Structure 1
């Protein structure tokens, strides 16, 4: 048989984590290092591989209900190769080290089982009040696979410069960065998007590190906006987004 499809056969590599193509992740399992993946993200596998729902503690369940942030994971174990994907999103590998990674859980595809995750409040961690925005902090040493809607932009934050990012477009950032959350600069109230521009919350990053931004704010139809004045002014947009 001949076909252009043969250009898409699996990559031959000794690496444990490989981006098979921009929207598909390949993970090799060797029997002693499990991988935690987003539930339902397996699209194919080879070998003797088992999939089990990952245990969620009562504390984690409570944090998920209270914040809306958290991971629904399955444990992949055994000997073989697993292919992971989700809604044809672009996949990116990140080496997590002592610096740590802060990310919206909606953008996590998979991670090494040795990594530790914890839900944090951006406001309480950095002294910012009134935002109520929660994120997932990933610490330890290992790899994590993130997803973006489209090709992302990685911005460098240095001591001389800081970066402002739309809160609906940011995917992840170095945990060591200092963060400030801000909304409108006029007094018409935080629920109205800035001056009729459609812009809302922003995150300002200071320090040394990186910020990952995607070219999408996940507005409707991926995240349906409410009707009436709430929808007009952006309230509730990007709620229950495409990866939940």
Structure 2
């Protein structure tokens, strides 16, 4: 199918790997995630230009400020990230923490803050955000222990603590890793432990989205490991019960 402004979906998936934002005003946008747009849209750097009041009210993460811009105007904006799965989510008076690299864009009704967990950002308030994942995202309830590489984020529950399986570490495989340094750690040795009320967001693979310098061209990034074409076309924005929590940059564990 060949798209033009009238045939593009409004605030919905074009396919499992691209999302169309019907921009009427402003959105916060991570650099390198907009692949095309129709209409009159301007892009302003965080901390520069005429939108300092908007940034002061909704953006509170100086560590990540250089990775973001404000898209302002009227038009249709196409978002994607290296053919990874992309979806939008609604947050209602919620608190969501998410890997910083997975968060593509969000409405100014949401305030972005740095999480106390390195590599994660927190969205607070009401509005829509768009996020990418390596495979489909699943929502589970605590108490649960999660492989760090499968973790996308968590909503309305306390930040996780680290859990180490010392029995496994003292076994044969753990001994080999301690002596040789080969193999790293796995979800069977080290997990994030969640307790309390809320939801935990998991991607359907233990392979993190590979790191890529902001704004670099697609051939410089990694090849996605998950995703099945055509399984989410026309999907409605998920309505999550209660408040929802976030997603953010990968934790190189």
TM-score range, shorter chain: 0.5 to 0.7
Structure 1 runs not aligned, ≥5 long: 123-132, 225-236
1:208 to 197, 206, 211: 197
Contact persistence 2:100–2:119 (CA under 8 A): no
- The alignment's TM-score, normalised by the length of structure 2, stands at 0.65
Structure 2 partner of 1:136: 121
CA shift, 1:223, in A, is: 5.8
CA offset digits 1:183-229 (Å, max 9, x no partner)? 2324759x859x99833431122222221111233369x369xxxxx
Taking a change above 3 Å as real, the CA distance of residues 76 and 134 of structure 1, as seen in their structure-2 partners, is closer
* Corresponding position of 1:169: 150
Gap change, CA 1:206 and 1:9, over 3 Å in 2 = farther
Deviations 1:30-77 (A, max 9, x none): 2xx3011110211111111112222289x844xx3xxxx677112111
Q: Which runs of 5+ in 2 are unaligned?
A: 49-55, 213-249
Report the number of matched residues.
Answer: 196
CA change 1:117–1:223 in 2 (3 A) is: closer
1:115-148 Cα shifts (integer Å, max 9, x gaps): 21111224xxxxxxxxxx4521110111111110
CA contact (8 A) 1:181 1:202 kept: yes
Distance 2:185 2:31 in 1: 37
Higher RCO (C-alpha under 8 Å, 6+ residues apart): 2
Length-normalised TM-score, structure 1: 0.67
